[in-house]
Amino acid sequence: MIRLDSRHVERTLAEAAIAGLGPGDGRVTVFDSDREDDLVPVLGAETSLAIDVRCRAAAAGLAVGPGSLTLRLTTAAAARLDVASAFATALSVREPGFRAGAVDLRIALQEAIGNAVLHGNLGLDGGQRRTREGLVAFGTAMAARLADPAYAALAVTVAAEWDSRHLVVAVEDCGVGFDPAQVVSEAGTPMGMGLAVIRSRCGGVSFSKGGRRIAMAYAVE
């Protein structure tokens, strides 16, 4: 049975946001990212799925079930709020056996969310930042696209599934995807640093959906 938590938004908006959600069992919290400065209350211990009412097709493709926690929010919100810290904290609350890995997860998630925002949904080319002029253009384009609803309302989805021994956390964007094999770290430059950090902070990385989804594996002690 799905239990709707609409404390953060008007009930009718919450019900509309979960239209299209498949059958499942758990609590769904609907929130308005424009009204939130901290996601920790949104990801309260009883919540299995948290949906930002400002996302396009907010509940599309989502499901609710035990041993899972999913957060879907807009690109603009993912850029403004400390998603990685809140999500890692929420997982530690739900699975105490994971607390030792929470720091690594926070760091890896931060990189994955940054990639989903900058390169996935905002479609910005990191290579542009090799020059000072490119750095200016990158920053200008980033600010402009975050202010453009066509980009800003695109969804970033962070989803975790776990059992007594394993935890997998995935981040998915709505961008055009990429080939991770083409991303090469260049020593002494920022290029490719994010993926290198992710790989060093989890037990394994896999990509799917044409590169739009990255999954990071952890052990639960």
- Rounded Cα distance between 167 and 154, Å, is 26
| Binding span for other proteins by CB under 8 A among 6-14, 40-48, 79-87, 159-167 | 79-87
**Interface characters, 185-204, with other proteins (x: CB under 8 A):** --xxxx--xx-xx--x----
By CB under 8 A, tell whether 103 contacts other proteins.
yes
CA 121 remoteness from chain centre = 12
How far, in Å, CA of 42 to CA of 160, rounded?
16
**How far, in whole angstroms, is CA 113 from its chain's centroid?**
5
By DSSP bridging, strand 155-162 and strand 68-74 are antiparallel
The structure tokens listed for 23 are 């059958």
The answer to the question of residue 180 lying near other proteins (CB under 8 A) is no
Instruction: Name the residue type at position 31.
Output: F
The DSSP secondary-structure symbol of 129 reads G
Residue type, 6: S
Nearest to other proteins of 189, 208 (CB atom) = 189
Query: Shortest gap between Cβ of 100 and other proteins (angstroms)?
Result: 15
User: Binding marks (x or -) toward other proteins, 115..134, rule CB under 8 A?
Assistant: --xx----------x--x--
Which residues contact other proteins by CB under 8 A?
79-80, 82, 103, 107, 110-111, 114, 117-118, 129, 132, 135-136, 138-140, 142-143, 187-190, 193-194, 196-197, 200
